[in-house]
Structure 1
Amino acid sequence: MAKRWPSSGVVSAEAGIVFGSHGMGKDSVMRNLAMLNQLWDGASLAIDRRTSESFTVQGARLTVVLQVQEPTLREFFNKSGALARGTGFLARFLVAWPASTQGFRPFTEAPANWPALAAFNQRLAAILSQPEPIDDDGALTSTMLDMSPDAKAAWVEYHNAIESELARGGELHDVRDVASKSADNAVRLTTLFQMLEHGMNSPISQGNFERAGNIAAWHLSEAKRFFGELALPVELADAVRLDNWLIEHCKNKCTHTVGKSVALQYGPLRKKESIDAAIRELEELDRVQVRRDGKRITLLINPALLDFANAKAANPAKDGVI
C-alpha cells in the first residue's frame, strides 16, 4: 500500500482465518487493531523497522469485509478481552446479523437474465476504466464532493438524532462506540451512491443521503442487537433470541401461545438442550409460563409483553431514526 498500490481489501467468507491469525495473538492484537483503525480513518501510518527500510503509508484506503460464525467471534472476544471494542475496531463496521433462513429456502429457478445486475456491472466497469487518481508519490489524490444544502441538513438531523441517544439512559448508550461512527458511515455510503449514479459532476443529493442513512440506521440497529447479545453468556443470549422470536411469532399469528415443538422447528434454537435452558430462563423471568399436557408442552407468553410490542409497533416515532 505504501509503494505499489494504495487501495487494498481484506475480504474473507471464513473470517476465523483472520481472527485466529498470528497478528491477532495476545502480543500483537492491540497494535494491529490500532493500525487497521488508522487505515479506516485515512490517516498516515508510519512503519518503523530495525532490520529493513522504514516507510510510511499515506493517501491509502483499506476495505475490510468479514463473514464469521458467532462461536468464532465469541472466542476472539474471549481472547482479546475488551480490546476489539475498546479500540474502536468493531465500531467501524457495518454489522449485519440476520436470522437464519434454514428450512425456508425452497429451490427456485434463476431468472433467464439479470438486466439490473448487468447495468450495475457495466457502471462499475466504466468507473474502474477511469485513470487512477494516484500522484507521483504513490498516494491517492481523492476528490472532495460537496453536499447539497438539503443533503447536509438531512445529515445534520441524522447526526443529532443519534447524538441525543448516546447519553446514559439513551437508546444507544450501550453501543455508543458504534453509534458515534454511524453518521460517518452514512456519509461514506452516500458518496458511493453519488459516484455510482452521477460520478463527480454534481453535489451529493438529499435522496442519496436518505437512502444511505436508512441503510446505516439499519446496520446500527443490527449492531445494537448483536453486541447486546454477544456480551451475554451463551445461555442468556439464547434466551434473548428465543424471547424475541416468541413475541414476533405471537404478533404475526395473533396468539399468545406457542407449542414447544413449533418453537423448536421454526425458532432460532434447534437443539433440545439449548431451547430447554432458554425456556427455564424465560420462565424464571416471568416472560413465559410452561403448560404440560402429557408429552405436549405449550409456552404461554406474558400478555404484557405482547401489549408492549403492539404499542411500540403502533408508535415507531419513539425510536427516532433507528
Structure 2
Amino acid sequence: MKPKSPEQAAWDAECKRLLKKITRTSCDEKAKQLQAQYRLHVGLRPKPFLPGLREFGDTTTAAFLEGLASSGGTAIVIADEGGTVTGGQTLAHLAWWNKAWDGTTLNHDRLSSGSIVVENPRVVVFLAIQPEPFRRFFEKNHYMARESGFSCRGLWAYVESTQGYRGVGGHSANRPYSAIKQFQRLRHEGETRSNEILRDPDATRQLLRLTAGATRLRQQFATEMELSLRPDGAYADVRDQASKAAEIATRMAGVMHCFFQLDGDIDESTMRDAISLMRWHLEEYRRLFGEPNQYSHAFEDAMKLQDFLVKEINAHGWFGVSSFQRSRLRTFGPNQSRDPKRFDAAVDYLVKQGAMDEVCVKGGARINLVREYFAPLVNEFSMAQHKPQISSLSSGLGFQQPGQLGQRIGYWPSI
C-alpha cells in the first residue's frame, strides 16, 4: 500500500463519507448540497505525501514499483545478507533493473491492480553476499545476467577476508578508523539531505555538468576503453562492462561530487578519482567474469566437459578415450558444449590448463588427452599401462571398459 500522511488519510475518509451519503440520499435538494460539499472538499486535497528514500529487501516487482512511484522515483534495495535477495523474487526479472539503470520510464500494467508508471527512476542495489549464494545465483541466471547486460551495469568486488588480521579486544592497527568515521558522517549527512529533497514536492533537481578538464579526462578514458574492446585488447574478455566503463565512471563522479558536498560543476580531480575507482572495479569484474574464471561461460562449460571426460575414462578405460575426433566430443559431449562458440571456448580453456592437445590431421582435428592431468581425477584401474588386445565397440565416445573385457579374455589392467 502507498504510504499516506495523517492529512491524506483524513481527506480520503471524508471523501468516502460524502460519497456514501450522496448515494444513499433520496432527496434531490439534499443530494445537490452534498455534491457541492464534495466538490469543495476535493479542491482541498492535501499535497501528496512523499516518504523520502524507500529501502527494500526481498520484494516482488509490483511491490517495488509501487513503492518506487510513491517515493518520487527513488529507492534502494539493500541487504547485508544478499542471498535473501538473489534467492528471492527481487532479481527474478532482470530486464526491469536494466531499464531502471538506463533511466527509462517503467510501466507495470495489471488488470487487478491497475497501472503503475515511474518516470526517470533512480534506483540503487547494494548487496553484501557470501561466495556460495553468489555462485548459486549465477549458476541459475548466468546467461540471462551476462547476455542481458545486467551484470555489466554494476560495480563488483570480491574483497579478501580480514580473518587473522583483526584486532582482538581493541582497535586493529590495520583499519583507518578516522576515515571510517568520516565516511559514516558524510553518509548520514547525505541521507538526511536526500530525504529533505525527496519529501519536498516543490524541490527541483540540479543538473550536474563536467568542467572542461573533466570532459577531457572522460573522453580520453572512453577512447582507451574503446581500443580495449578489440579482440587483442586488454578487456576483450569483459567487453560488456568495459563498453560502459566511461558512463559508469561519470555517474560515480556525480555521486562523489554530491557525497563530498562539492560546489559547482564536477571538476577534473573528482573525475580522475572516479576513473581510478572504475579501473579497480573493472579488474574485479574481470577477476569474477573474465576468461578464465569461476563465473565465466568457458570455465563452467570446461568443468562440465572435464567431468564428462572423467566419467568416460572411468567407464571405458584410458586407451579407449585418450584420443578421438574433435567433432565426436562435440556430438556426444554435454548439451551445453554443442553450441560451436561455447564448445570452442571450453576446449581452449582445457588446452590452456594442460588437460588436452589439439592436432590437425586428415579428416579433421583430433583431441589427445594428457595422461598426467587426468590421472589424479579418475579411478586407478582406468589408467591401465597396456592396451587390451580386443577390438573396441563404439559407444558414445566410446569403448568397452577394460575391466569388463578382462572377464572375457583374461585381461586385467595393471597400474
TM-score range, shorter chain: 0.5 to 0.7
Q: Which among 111, 128, 132 is matched to residue 197 of structure 2? A: 132
Contact 2:238/2:289 (8 A) holds in 1: yes
Of 156, 160, 176, the residue aligned with 2:239 is 176
Q: 1:211 to 1:283 in 2, by over 3 A?
A: same
User: Paired residue for 1:3?
Assistant: 70
1:151 aligns with 2:218: no
Cα distance in structure 2, aligned partners of 1:284 and 1:4: 55
Deviation at 1:180, TM superposition (A): 1.4
Counterparts in 2 of 1:11 and 1:284: CA distance versus 1, 3 Å: same
Aligned mates of 1:127, 1:49 — CA distance in 2? 36
Give 1:10's aligned amino acid: V
Separation of aligned partners in 2, 1:80 and 1:117: 35
Structure 1 residue runs without a partner (length 5+) = 237-280, 290-322
* Counterparts of 1:122 and 1:87, CA distance in 2: 37
Q: Is the Cα contact below 8 Å between 2:235 and 2:242 reproduced in 1?
A: yes
Stretch of structure 1 that moved more, 98-107 or 203-212 = 98-107
Q: What letter corresponds to residue 77 of structure 2 in structure 1? A: V
Offset of 1:5 from its aligned partner?
4.4
Q: Is the 8 A contact 1:39 1:61 kept in 2?
A: yes
Change (3 A) 1:50 1:90: same
Higher mean alpha-carbon deviation, 215-224 vs 54-63, is at: 54-63
TM-superposed CA distance for 1:82, in Å, is 0.6
- Post-superposition shift, 1:134? 6.7
| Aligned mates of 2:355, 2:148 — CA distance in 1 | 36
- Asked if the contact 1:123/1:196 (under 8 Å) is kept, the reply is yes
Task: Give the Cα–Cα distance (whole angstroms) in 1 for the partners of residues 275 and 164 of structure 2.
Answer: 32
Stretch moving more, 72-81 or 6-15: 72-81
3-state SS of paired residue (2:76): strand
Which of 217, 230, 244 pairs up with 2:279? 217
Q: Distance in 1 between matches of 2:144 and 2:135?
A: 13
Matched to 2:139, the amino acid is N
Quick one: distance in 2 between partners of 1:99 and 1:181?
26
Distance in 2, matches of 1:168 and 1:283, equals 23
Find the partner of 2:225 among 162, 165, 170: 162
Structure 2 residue 109 is the aligned partner of structure 1 residue 48: yes
Give the TM-score, by structure 2 length: 0.50
Q: What is the total number of aligned residue pairs between the two structures?
A: 236
What pairs up with 1:253-264 in 2 under 5 angstroms? none
Using the alignment, how far apart are the partners of 1:222 and 1:135 within structure 2? Answer: 39
Aligned to 2:316: none
Choose the corresponding residue for 1:79, options 128, 140, 162: 140
Larger relative contact order, structure 1 or 2 (CA cutoff 8 Å, min sep 6): 1
Shift of 1:146: 1.4
SS in 2 for 1:216: helix
- The residue aligned with 2:94 is 33
**Any conservation in 1 of the 2:86–2:137 contact (CA below 8 Å)?**
yes
Q: 1:195 aligns with which of 237, 248, 258?
A: 258
8 Å Cα contact 2:257/2:270 also seen in 1: yes
Deviation at 1:71, TM superposition (A): 2.9
What is the alpha-carbon distance in structure 1 between the residues aligned to residue 288 and residue 87 of structure 2?
A: 21
Question: Residue type matched to 2:258 in 1?
Answer: M
Q: Which has the larger radius of gyration?
A: 2
Q: 1:110 aligns to what?
A: 171
CA 1:76–1:151 in structure 2 vs 1: closer, same or farther (change >3 Å)? same
CA-to-aligned-CA distance 1:139-173 (integer Å, 9 cap, x gap): x8532111111111011111111110112221211
Match of 1:313 in 2: none
Aligned-pair distance for 1:56?
0.3
Report what 1:18 is aligned to: 85
Amino acid at match of 1:18: V
CA distance in 2, matches of 1:108, 1:164: 51
* Partner deviation per Cα, 1:82-130 (whole Å, 9 max, x = no partner): 101111111111111133344444536228x955445444444444444
Aligned partner of residue 11 in structure 1, secondary structure: strand
Aligned AA for 2:117?
T
3-state SS in 2 of match to 1:215: helix
Superposed CA offset, 1:230-282 (max 9, x none): 1214997xxxxxxxxxxxxxxxxxxxxxxxxxxxxxxxxxxxxxxxxxxxx96
Equivalences for residues 279-318 of structure 1 within 5 A? none
Identity of aligned residues (%): 28
TM-score after normalising by structure 1: 0.63
State the Cα distance separating 1:70 from its structure 2 match. 2.7
d(CA) in 2 for partners of 1:134, 1:58: 17
CA separation of 1:202 and 1:79: change in aligned 2, threshold 3 A: same
